[in-house]
């Protein structure tokens, strides 16, 4: 059996090895991206404060600085800690598919479980700085989603996102097909779209348990 680290995965490897296929349109992704959330005055001010800090630093932040100064505060505002699921960082997930053991520590996952992740429904893979990103973030993201799909053992879609500097791309994996959104730029008004999409994700996941 060959062990493959999620960080080494590319879309080409996943397509050829596991029969995945990229599609340009997906209803689940379209519905997710169209979720409507009207930000409160507090949320707007909070997001604008984050954006101001981003604009001053995005060309110079390393991966950890991008994570701690922008991405974590954004997720904290959404608040994915509920009675049904929680958000986790750098927790190991792994699964055997065919002759391959896929294993790694995604930068973030949302999964059932309070103290440790059990069933992943969302993977947030690779906080990449604006300059000199290493690896293929989209491949790493889909690979983590494939592990999540195998672990949850249902036909429900798995959701994901990857970030390169100011660009956020959202991903849905259903069956063997995955669809990647356009890049949303958080240095302009699309920061409110990104926040609404994250709120939509929380709404979607809560609906699974109610």
Q: Where are the domains of the chain?
A: 2-207
Flag whether the pTM goes above 0.85: yes
Q: What is the pLDDT of residues 115-139, one digit of tens each?
A: 898 888 888 865 666 544 567 889 9
67, 107 contact by CB (below 8 A)? yes
Check pLDDT > 70 for residue 91: yes
Residue with tokens 């379209």: 30
Alpha carbon 43 to chain centroid distance? 21
Instruction: Judge whether 160 and 9 are in contact, CB under 8 Å.
Output: no
Q: How far is CA 196 from the centre of its chain?
A: 14
Residue-level pLDDT at 126: 58
């Amino acid at each position: 059996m060959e062990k493959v680290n999620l960080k080494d995965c590319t879309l080409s490897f996943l397509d050829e090895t596991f029969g995945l296929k990229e599609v340009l349109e997906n209803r689940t992704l379209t519905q997710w991206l169209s979720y409507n959330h009207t930000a409160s005055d507090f949320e707007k001010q909070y997001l604008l404060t984050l954006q101001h800090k981003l604009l001053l630093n995005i060309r110079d932040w390393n991966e950890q600085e991008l994570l701690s100064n922008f991405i974590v505060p954004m997720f904290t505002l959404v608040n994915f800690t509920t009675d049904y699921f929680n958000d986790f960082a750098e927790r190991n997930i792994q699964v055997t598919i065919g002759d391959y053991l896929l294993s790694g520590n995604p930068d973030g996952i949302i999964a059932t479980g309070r103290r440790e992740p059990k069933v992943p429904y969302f993977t947030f893979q690779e906080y990449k700085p604006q300059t000199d990103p290493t690896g293929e973030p989209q491949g790493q993201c889909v690979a983590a989603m494939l592990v999540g799909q195998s672990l949850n053992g249902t036909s429900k879609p798995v959701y994901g996102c990857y970030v390169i500097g100011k660009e956020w791309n959202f991903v849905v994996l259903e069956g063997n097909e995955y669809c990647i959104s356009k890049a949303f730029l958080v240095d302009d008004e699309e920061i409110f779209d990104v926040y609404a999409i994250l709120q939509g994700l929380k709404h979607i996941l809560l609906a699974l348990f109610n």
